Amino acid sequence: MLLYCTLIGVVIHSGYTKSTERIQKQQSIKTKTMARLNKNGILSGALGKIVFVNRAGEAHVRLRSGSSNQSKNSEASAKGFGVNSSQDSLVRHAITEKLYIRNYQCFAVNHRTRLRLTIQESKDQEGNIFQRYHNPQALVGTVFNNQWQWERATSFYPEYNLAQDHTMTVALPEINLGKQIKLPKNSTHATLNFHAFTIDPNMGNPVAEILSSITFNLEKNKNIPAQDWVFSIPNNAYWAIIIATISYTSHKNNIPEEHKHTGTYLWAKKIAKD
């Protein structure tokens, strides 16, 4: 009986071990094999170090990339990209809370890209990297509407003169709806807005402060005479920015959505010293 029990014990123990090894092998295969056949019989996913990718109906194969060690600069840049995305949302909200900008999806993407270009990096003595929004010049020309861009819609160019006492004079040329400002299909009227404001994008909760605004209600082939727009910029302002927007209307309200609005940043300057 003892022998029998011992043999039974061996057989049971041996069987358990083989079964366990088989399960472990299956689990190992499952963890390494993530490729699946789709309805067209094309593999997608990963098989060991091989990755199957389907793009535009074509199958591609590549090797899975191994883990990479990022440098401090790379890590800082990646972190800065994420911080910029969050901060840009706050900056845009602060601006659009005070000014009307039609919420085209491209506006957020274009704005975030341009704002990222204004970041300046610096290092301390220990090599730590710090990022700060610095020169706003990169914002000038930001596209608010990809389908009806400011450069396509307008052909007038104001001149800017910032005096030492921070008095800004903007020389606006004569403007004619139909000449200096193009009319999209079906539109008959336009509202042209200029706004000057200040903002510090480095603040946790940025606030846009309007300095001055000027509005023109335009009718087809009627001229707006040339004139100077004068206002003062506070000495402690971090960024001073001039924005222009155009909203189009028609009697029949039949303007395509993508042609109802356009705008851009015309001028931007860092005022306060670090």
The residue segments making up the domain with residue 38 are 34-66
pLDDT at residue 22 greater than cutoff 60: no
CA distance 211 to 201: 17
Domain shared by 91 and 140, yes or no: yes
Spatial CB neighbours of 187, under 8 Å, sequence gap ≥ 6: 248, 249, 250, 255, 259
Residue 9 maps to a domain: no
Domain check: are 96 and 226 in the same one?
yes
Is residue 27, in this structure, part of any structural domain at all? no
| Mean of the per-residue pLDDT values of the chain | 83
Give me the mean pLDDT over the 20-28 stretch: 52
Do 264 and 143 reside in the same domain of the chain? yes
Cα–Cα distance between 14 and 7 in angstroms, integer?
10
Q: Does residue 149 sit in the same domain as residue 241? A: yes
Q: Is residue 217 part of a domain?
A: yes
- pLDDT tens digits for range 140-177: 999 999 999 999 999 999 999 999 999 999 999 999 99
Give the chain's domain count: 2
Residue 224 burial (CB count, 10 A): 19
Does any domain span residue 14? no
Is the residue at 29 inside a domain?
no
pLDDT at position 76 over 60:
no
- Residue 109, domain member (yes or no): yes
Beta bridge partners, 43, equal 37
Does residue 246 form part of some domain?
yes
Structure tokens at 193: 């807005």
Q: Are residues 40 and 176 in the same domain?
A: no
Q: Note whether 60 and 164 are same-domain residues.
A: no
- For residue range 6-17, what is the model confidence (pLDDT) as tens digits? 333 333 333 444
